[in-house]
Amino acid sequence: MRSSPRPFAALLAALALTAGLSLIGTPAVARSDEAPAATEASDVSIAADTYTWKNARIDGGGFVPGIVFNRSEKNLAYARTDIGGAYRWDQSGKQWKPLLDWVDWDRWGWTGVVSLASDTVDPDNVYAAVGTYTNSWDPTDGAVLRSSDRGASWKAATLPFKLGGNMPGRGMGERLAVDPNKNSVLYLGAPSGNGLWRSTDAGVSWSEVTAFPNPGNYAQDPSDTSGYGNDNQGIVWVTFDERSGSAGSATQDIYVGVADKENTVYRSTDGGATWSRIPGQPTGYLAHKGVLDSATGHLYLTLSDTGGPYDGGKGRIWRYDTASGAWQDVSPVAEADTYYGFSGLSVDRQKPGTLMATAYSSWWPDTQIFRSTDSGATWTQAWDYTGYPNRSNRYTLDVSSVPWLSWGASPAPPETAPKLGWMTEALEIDPFDSDRMMYGTGATVYGTEDLTSWDSGGTFRITPMVKGIEETAVNDLASPPSGAPLLSALGDIGGFRHTDLDAVPDLMYTSPNLDSTTSLDFAESSPGTVVRVGNSDAAPHIGFSTDNGANWFQGSEPSGVTGGGTVAAAADGSGFVWSPEGAGVHHTTGFGTSWTASTGIPAGATVESDRKNPEKFYGFEAGTFYVSTDGGATFTAEATGLPAEGNVRFQALPGTEGDIWLAGGSDTGAYGLWRSTDSGVTFTKSAGVEQADSVGFGKAAPGASYRTVFVSAKIGGVRGIFRSTDAGASWTRINDDAHQWGWTGAAITGDPRVYGRVYVSTNGRGIQVGETSDSGGGGTDPGTDPGTDPGTDPGPEQPADAACAVTYAVTNQWPGGFQADVTVTNTGDAAYNGWKLGWSFPGGQQISQIWNASHRQDGVKVTVTDAGWNGTVAPGSSAGFGFTGSWAGSNAEPAAFTLDGQACTVG
């Protein structure tokens, strides 16, 4: 779920990062195939080191407003999230595969997906309308992404306006639709008064349908001046009547839903040339969904008096007979009995006349799901009262695979734990299987595979169908030297203690339950002591643990606290410093039975502790660094000249007093990475680090004396996750262009027990865990990369009589970028004692990052040299390497390869 419109601290920080960027003007048509800017090649990215990435499993954790089944291929389904990208269903593993992890830092808004469309004519085609905010919070215009390989690779058409994947009304839809008869035709409903848009070339280019008469007029809160609540929610869904077309000919009858309570449904009967309001339609409501049952000719509308996804006081369900033009109210309950809006809507394509709908905003005591098998004439409910407050359920709900969905609650009837859900705006019956249904909630995807038991009087079983979707927004991370390897602070669902990164935790933090945890810390020399703070509707906003986060107890708080802020634990756990929202910085000894205001430090400062001296705490605010040597009672302003604006994070090095690293800034001021070795009295800026946003520490590399440093940063012109094993003297990029996850500036930390392991925060793609195959060693100095400097000997020559075979495979592709794997096999009789592979790119591609090898590129010509450890290749054996690169126009594979000038077999 998303309890606030903004993606927490991550949004504010991202805004600071993008301040000053000029926005592109509004042309008459969308820009076609605008690819992200090519990543600059940089020596910082080379390493004989390959990282693998996965999520620390939580399973869900955010709003899933859309689920789309393809209607011509069984088991092909997609899900969209409001800030966490899109996913494709993998039937073999019964899990979801992320599709937009390539979205980069500068286009973080493209992680918000406002609509999805799967092509009925060619199921390989899928489209995503992306963009997170329609106001200034998102610096980039929206786009329609298109893929011809089910989301494995994408091309983009950038729009001349923004889209709102995390805006009010995001549960309505789908706004994007493919003509089921002529799949080169697509429609997109736009927000903000931008009208209805059409593509006639399969999403390559877009233009406004100027004949469409109504761009919408409904705003959630017209008095809001931020551009969020007062944005016109626009055109919210498009539905085709496939009966009015034939294969290869455009569908003639098209229905469009508009955010206008008096004029919410329009129709075209001439393939979109002209449009008119359908007479007799219901008024006073917004049509959240419009679904046509082509077997019966009925168009169904689920209606609410607001746009959702949180609100809704009244709702109705109406049916339109497309043959007679008659409208009928087929609502399952009387209008006076509704206290919620209707939204989720699906028809059973195997059983004409069967449909289902949800009461999306029924927060208490539970959501409700309705089912009709007679075109809405009569309905049954997922649960009924048997005499208030007792209820009878037609379902069983088993959350054992995601046990935290119970929220640790034991409510009084008629509430239950776990609930059926809330914010249930997406519900879909599998078009090939009447027994399978999935629906999205504010926290998960639920589903069943025995739905028709509902009709026979039995119970159907609901379980989470969410594995693979990781949608949490991460505010803070900690990896103690003992106990659980990972503690997290998350938006909306508090956070978790991970004792196993590959297992879903039993429960989020409780006692207290915080809506969002904003900060947490542990005592460095006593890691059983943990503190966390966060946001909630009422006190307390702080909790303590003495067993490494396994159990918690509530703390007291100073007067005036309104939000979590940041918190720090003394190195030995003897005291704490807290900088909450609504009150100034305070300190305490013990576990916060009373708090005393700190002096010498401004309210709102970020606070951290020294990781060795328990009396020493640090603070930062508006470019000034503050130091306390008396347990947080008094602070003294020390270093100045640090970033005065933007996202700023700092950490003190474990085990060494006074060693502090600070990352942050903005494009309009100071920006980078600084280090202090004198407890913050002075700082030195790291050369070569252009931008940095978070910093953390992990286990030292074998043979290294200094802990590994991790940063989310821009170094050598490249944005990414970087590692240094030599105290920042050199850096290695450890992610690649296929793994970028939008914005990663909130938190980063290494694991003090596992060399190379790093935990990375994202704003909607959960906690990313990186593992290295490198056994140790330093990074690469940006100026001394062997094999890339034209004056450096790339390595031993290849024996003249050697034979070779090469395989080259593009393993991932996205707009403007791709990833490839190359394997060199020795087909000769003698071992390679060092190898050098050459080829020419046919499309002008440029390598940006390579692993398990080094490279030199001159125009289209590429020479790749072994990494040393993989230079000896016995007859019949192989050596492999991989790289990421940029492309424009085409990404054709090289046709020929040479090993020391000798042609290789390609296959």
Phi, psi angle pair for 44, to nearest 5°: -65, -15
Do 171 and 158 touch, CB atoms closer than 8 A?
A: no
**Residue 655 near residue 623 (C-beta atoms within 8 A):** no
Classify residue 791 as exposed, middle or buried by CB count within 10 Å of its CB (0-12, 13-18, 19+): exposed
Q: What are 681's two structure tokens?
A: 């009295």
* Counts for the chain of helices (H) and strands (E), in that order: 1, 70
Q: Which of 43, 49, 59, 82 is catalytic?
A: 82
Q: Which residues pair with 624 in a beta bridge?
A: 621
Please report, in angstroms and rounded to a whole number, the separation of the first and last CA atoms in the chain. 48
CA distance linking residue 57 with residue 73, whole number of Å: 30
Q: What is the largest CA-CA distance in the chain?
A: 89
Q: Which pair of tokens denotes residue 620? A: 């930062």
The SS3 of residue 43 is: helix
Burial class (CB in 10 A: 0-12, 13-18, 19+), 403: middle
Q: DSSP readout, 679-696?
A: TTS--EEPTTEEEEEEEE
Show the DSSP H helices in 487-568 as ranges: none
742 CA to centre of own chain: 7
Reference 357, options 398, 316, 395; nearest CA is 316
Residue 56 tokens, joined: 């620390």
The pairing of beta strand 804-814 with beta strand 905-906: parallel
In order of 741, 774, 821, 829, the CA distances from 826 in angstroms are 37, 24, 17, 8
| Spatial distance between the Cα atoms of 325 and 293, rounded to a whole number of angstroms | 15
* Active site (annotated) includes residue 492: yes
Q: What are phi and psi of 272, to 5 degrees?
A: 95, 5
For residue 235, give both structure tokens: 């055109």
448: how many CB neighbours lie within 10 A of its CB? 21
User: How would you list the strands of the sheet with 542-545, edge to edge?
Assistant: 516-523, 526-535, 542-545, 553-554
**Contact (CB, 8 A) for 324 and 336:** no
User: Would you call 736 a catalytic residue per the annotation?
Assistant: no
The catalytically annotated residue of 492, 515, 774, 785 is 492
Round to whole Å and give the CA distance between 82 and 4. 12
Q: 3-state SS of 8-28?
A: HHHHHHHHHHHCCCCCCCCCC
Beta bridge partners, 358, equal: 369
Please give the C-alpha separations between residue 376 and each of 212, 242, 335, 372, in angstroms, as whole numbers.
30, 22, 15, 5
Contact of 757 with 746, CB cutoff 8 Å? no
Four-CA torsion 788, 792, 797, 798, nearest 10 degrees: 0
Peptide bond between residue 365 and the one before it cis (omega within 30 degrees of 0): yes
Query: Catalytic site residues?
Result: 82, 492
